Structure 1
């Protein structure tokens, strides 16, 4: 009888879930348990979480709220109790994860045996921008690590990068957190080889307060007018309520939506505008789109490596 390996795959975002689904499909000799600790509790997250459920021998889906340090620590202690008394507290042959900075995933990985294999996969541009949390060491994190060691975590961010046997990536042309990479294609779209003589402008939103508090709703709305934006695609964590443009309301994440749109509108090409969204990078290879990143002095000052990366790969950048 064929030996089937036991594997655990862990996600926190819809994009990670899409990548995880492709990984599972590429590993037919493994039985997968699935853990999803969602960063938001909304229709979009729930829709993608259900996509992985059908593959899971055991399935754990939970919405994790992050607030103060004390609140987060209490929640982490609750998680430890739950984990140690459920079906996931067992030994796996393989562990797959994306958010290598997650204390929850670090704790789970610390239960592995010496013979277990670890595989990593992408979490957006944090994997390819050299000043992201996946590359830089934070002294405060080093101090916190001592606390988490006492709670049972053996492996931290750098340990996971070092032990990863293979990194699955949707950015094969970029250097990644792990040297040994394998490309994952998210979409088998039929969007190429069409005569597209109509255009539509779509803006890809973000949770602006997380990277530039000066980007107010008024400023975003003025930008929509200046760029003649037809559709606005909000980020799942976005708090802005943009009023002067049609909002895309869909369960699908941006990448899925773009594939569907281009297949349904064979005579139309898309001009995609965004400040710093990694989702724009994820559709870079599609025919029928033009991508425009928008920079301001504040953004360039705060994220020089990101915009240098765009320039080095010949993306079009507009001034704001």
Structure 2
């Protein structure tokens, strides 16, 4: 049996495609999460549907510090399957995933994308503190792995970004949609993909109002962290992540996506019915995200 670990709805979407590539193998799926809203619950069920067996791990919504570490320490008591042939995961630097793997055995390790972080320089996925305090925490929770140890074990990486250099050299491309997109295009619809880039609710609302005045989008697809709404903006309220929303509801539409630098854009960049229009914000702390655009062959549609 194989083990596949997911932390986000997008990872579930990718995981299901990986499972399809191994039709004669059984999978045990684990969904991690601190906030179990309708969206996470839906995608946990989607993971379960694709696996022979599965479980959900609640990482604690409001737990911080020692309370969080105590919960991780108890993780070993929840693990029911101990031995696996292959392990698939995206987040090498997750203490939760490292701790889980510390209490099971496996023969081979495979990874897959955790959004566009895999193709940007100096990704967070490979960052891990190297302090005495951090090492004490890992010892307390029973984590015997590190990013470096896991990275050396990777046999292959599955990517949805085949045209870009990945942080893992040995890659196998996978597609989130069927290779053949059938049907004639019937109309056009545009969306702005929400990203709360500023520190306060008021600042983010002001930014959305500015976008509304300068960008001609039809609908706004909010980020899960956006628990506010702006009058006059047409919001899409859906339990699906945007990629799934496009596949299920907009199969025969031309879809124009306006975005700052959301992973959604990169995930759909090669879709034949999708056009991506990147918007550059003047917010200083996010300028580094745009520095890699020329190397990635990306252009800015508009600056605000």
TM norm structure 1: 0.85
Instruction: Give 1:143-158 correspondences, 5 Å limit.
Output: 143-158=133-148
Q: 1:136 to 1:49 in 2, by over 3 A?
A: closer
Partner of 1:3: none
**Aligned with 1:278 (options 253, 263, 273):** 263
Alpha-carbon separation, structure 2, partners of 1:49 and 1:127: 23
Alpha-carbon separation, structure 2, partners of 1:39 and 1:192: 38
Report the aligned-residue RMSD. Answer: 2.5
Q: 1:151 to 1:75 in 2, by over 3 A?
A: closer
1:153 Cα shift? 1.4
Three-state SS of the structure 2 residue aligned to 1:232 is strand
Partner of 1:47: 42
Alpha-carbon separation, structure 1, partners of 2:224 and 2:95: 23
**5+ long unaligned stretches in structure 1:** 1-5
Q: Is the 8 A contact 1:189 1:259 kept in 2?
A: no
1:74 aligns with 2:70: yes
Three-state SS of the structure 2 residue aligned to 1:116 is strand
**5+ long unaligned stretches in structure 2:** none
1:132 aligns with 2:127: no
Alpha-carbon separation, structure 2, partners of 1:45 and 1:244: 28
Three-state SS of the structure 2 residue aligned to 1:216 is helix
Q: 1:152 to 1:205 in 2, by over 3 A?
A: same
Mean CA deviation greater in 62-71 or 123-132: 62-71
**Aligned with 1:262 (options 250, 254, 264):** 250
Partner of 2:226: 238
Partner of 1:314: 297
Instruction: Give 1:102-117 correspondences, 5 Å limit.
Output: 102-113=94-105, 116-117=107-108
Mean CA deviation greater in 41-50 or 10-19: 41-50
Alpha-carbon separation, structure 2, partners of 1:190 and 1:237: 34
Instruction: Give 1:1-320 correspondences, 5 Å limit.
Output: 6-64=1-59, 65=61, 67-83=63-79, 87-88=80-81, 90-113=82-105, 116-140=107-131, 143-188=133-178, 190-191=180-181, 194=184, 198-209=187-198, 215-263=203-251, 266=252, 268-299=253-284, 301-304=285-288, 306-317=289-300, 318-320=302-304
Alpha-carbon separation, structure 2, partners of 1:121 and 1:10: 10
Q: 1:215 to 1:278 in 2, by over 3 A?
A: farther
TM norm structure 2: 0.89
Q: Is the 8 A contact 1:119 1:165 kept in 2?
A: yes
**Residues 183-223 of structure 1: per-residue CA shift (max 9 Å, x gap):** 11111165467456x4332100124357x988421221221
Q: Is the 8 A contact 1:39 1:63 kept in 2?
A: yes
Number of aligned residue pairs: give it.
302
Three-state SS of the structure 1 residue aligned to 2:238 is coil
